[in-house]
Amino acid sequence: MSDLIMNNAELIGSAKPVVSKNSCGYYLWNVYDKAARTFDLTKMIVGAQGTLGMITEIEFALVKPKKFSHLLVAFLTSLDQLGETATHILKYNPESFESYDDQTLKVAFKFLPQLMHQMGGNIITLGLEFIPEMMAVLEGGMPKLVLMAEFTADTNEEALRLATEAQTSLKEFHVRTRVTKTENDEHKYWVIRRESFNMLRQHIHGVRTAPFIDDFVVLPKFLPEFLPKLYAIFEPYKHDLTYTIAGHVGDGNFHIIPLMNLADPKAHVIIRDLSVKVYELVHSYNGSITGEHNDGIIRTPFVKMQYGDKVYELFEKTKKIWDPKGIFNPGKKVGGTLEYAFEHIVKTS
């Protein structure tokens, strides 16, 4: 490994994705730190998805969360508003910065009674909690994107001050915003963000989740032009797919998980076509095909597209050095094909 990394240092250094999250390929660029004079292979084994060996022991640290939080919620009626709005909010250092699209909001309204039941509490009080969303729709139409910037602190007053300060600074952008005041009010947005798709899945029979393009990353500054192109790719498939789009706006990391009947041969054609089109778009913006969830068997066929032949060859050599018999998690990271993935999809449908 030392020879492979030292002899290809320039190529490996140039291969590192410029985005803030990346789980694609082997992290060869993390092993050798010239300035610190360290050579640490654990930084490559982490994220290798069990393809290089077995990990028998780990050591980790915990982060103590701050006790209080408030959300600054922004309702964007156009994706053109995303770039400058998101960039501006990031200057105020939110603890987290999430989003969900109009499809998600429509699902939430459709299954509102079930959503409120999941939140718990008095049905009338919960109904009043959704008035801001209803007003946003009545006054400006269905938002194309809802942004959720979370501000945290050790006191409730400080968390509220941070969120309100960020909200006030957005007045010049003419974007409808609000700051949550209660825990229930804040919880509502997290339930919409995290549970709407589950509700949709529960009410459509004969389909299952198909997470094949669910984790790509591009730099946040590209999102205003990237997202319309992404929606355009999905347009021809709107009658064959049910899906929602949610994302970590601060990282430019988005998740799309369609519902599909994987036993239908047509589904395989759609998966192949959409994967190629979406990942070609991601590649054109120097992004990553997977930020958090790793390659698996469904993204491995596109690893070479992201890194090119020469870097992919280094990944293949890395695999052979560690696992010459190819027995550790085969078909992932290197050597996988869509045909191999489809064989496993059929077996698990």
Residue 349: pLDDT over 50? no
Do 274 and 127 touch, CB atoms closer than 8 A? no
- Work out the average pLDDT over 62-90: 91
Strand partners, 69: 152
Q: Report the predicted TM-score, pTM, of the whole model to 2 decimal places.
A: 0.86
Higher pLDDT, 114 or 92: 92
Q: In this predicted model, what pLDDT tens digit does every residue of 255-295 receive, in sequence order?
A: 887 888 888 888 889 999 999 999 999 999 999 999 999 99
| DSSP H or E segment with residue 39 | strand 38-39
- Secondary-structure breakdown of the chain: helix, strand, coil percentages, each rounded to the nearest 5: 50, 15, 35
Which residues of the chain form CATH 3.30.70.2190?
68-203
CA distances from 20 to 128, 218, 288, 295 (A): 38, 9, 10, 17
150 vs 186: CA distance, rounded Å: 9
68-203 carries CATH number 3.30.70.2190: yes
Could you tell me where in the chain the CATH 3.30.70.2740 domains are found?
208-348
Residue 98's contacts (CB-CB under 8 Å, 6 or more residues apart) are 147, 148, 150, 193, 246, 247, 248, 249
Tell me whether strands 208-209 and 259-260 are parallel, antiparallel or unpaired.
antiparallel
Q: What is the pLDDT of residues 81-109, one digit of tens each?
A: 888 899 899 999 999 999 988 888 788 77
Helix and strand counts by DSSP (H, E) for the chain? 16, 11
Instruction: Provide the CATH topology of domain 208-348.
Output: Alpha-Beta Plaits (3.30.70)
